[in-house]
Amino acid sequence: MLKTIAVRIVLGIITLWAVSVLIFAATEVLPGDVASAILGQGATPETLAVFRHELGLDRPAYVRYLEWFFNALHGDLGIAMTNKRVIVEVIAPRFMNTLFLAGYAALIAVPTSVVLGIIAAINEGKFIDRFVNIISLMTISVPEFFIAYVLILYLAVQFEIFPSLSTVFPEMGFVEKIYTTALPAFTLTMLVMAHMLRMTRTSVLSIMSQPYIEMAFLKGLTRSQVIVRHALPNAAAPIISVIALNLAYLIVGVVVIEVVFVYPGVGQFMVDGVTKRDLPVVQACGLIFAGAFVGLNTIADVLAIMVNPRLRHPR
């Protein structure tokens, strides 16, 4: 088991390195230039050349990548080109805001989706099962920005229950922050809950045809007892995987939500960096998102190995 876990971790590190190469290459081919964006249209070629030299943009791309990558390994994500601020100092509080929003949504979505998935599996084919499936399909089919604007229209504009903008400050209290970020958290919850609910239901029902499940029914156990005691533990591995994927989405997929609600997170910071052609900011945000996604998937693989006896003892 330790060997298998070590292989998963090494594969995660290799994946993260490959993603870093793609992030750097993708930002290199972005149209526009930060020097031109800062100096404006009135800049002369000589001024642009001097400014590009000051920013280090005149060096070969592979040299800049190696410098950026090895600095990132030491926790140095560089300096923003537009305001000369250290990116780590700027992005750290924003990353905490993103984690807060993702954790807020996860605390609602994960237990609710797992419980509803189990209830749907227990009542397979009944009204509650069909109702849950219809609602989850509707949620999956609607884009996140549409859900966000609908919630703003009804809960912020028409009924004035929650604020339409989710701007938070370090001085805010915990309860006030929960109230201010309610709408983006509800939007993210509706997006990820449908996937986890359907995977929980599907995983549990796929186990129901196994011989040991039939034996449990022959012993006189009810359907709910069989699912909770026997089917759910054996269906835990795919459920853990889909939960980890959706938790990763809560962190890396908040870009649109943060822009809609003007939430000061990493996604909003990344959009600002793209607008200003600030490549170090875009690269830093992309690397943080990639690290969160790869890390959560690696943790999911390790947990799946630990909860599945067939993976713990492959022989």
User: To the nearest whole number, what is the mean pLDDT of the chain?
Assistant: 84
Q: pTM of the predicted model, to two decimals?
A: 0.82
The token pair that represents 46 in the structure block: 């000589």
* Number of continuous H segments (helices) and E segments (strands) in the chain: 17, 0
pLDDT at residue 141 above 70? yes
Contact call for residues 300 and 244 (beta carbons, < 8 A): yes
- C-alpha to C-alpha distance for 282 and 273, rounded to whole angstroms: 6
**Which residue reads 């200003």 in tokens?**
276
The predicted structure's pLDDT at residue 162: 93
Range scoring the smallest mean pLDDT among 50-64, 136-150, 175-189, 277-291: 50-64
Instruction: State whether CATH 3.40.50.620 applies to domain 87-312.
Output: no
The predicted structure's pLDDT at residue 296: 84
Which amino acid, 121? A
Element (H, E) at 131: helix 127-141
The token pair that represents 267 in the structure block: 């996604």
- C-alpha to C-alpha distance for 193 and 246, rounded to whole angstroms: 8
pLDDT at residue 93 above 70? yes
pLDDT at residue 275 above 60? yes
- C-alpha to C-alpha distance for 208 and 229, rounded to whole angstroms: 12
Tens-place pLDDT, residues 224-259: 888 888 787 777 777 877 888 888 888 877 888 998
Q: In Å, what is the CA distance from 68 to each residue of 30, 73, 94, 141? A: 18, 9, 21, 39
The predicted structure's pLDDT at residue 42: 65
The predicted structure's pLDDT at residue 30: 65
Contact call for residues 114 and 196 (beta carbons, < 8 A): yes
> Which residue would you say has higher pLDDT here, 145 or 277?
145
The predicted structure's pLDDT at residue 233: 76
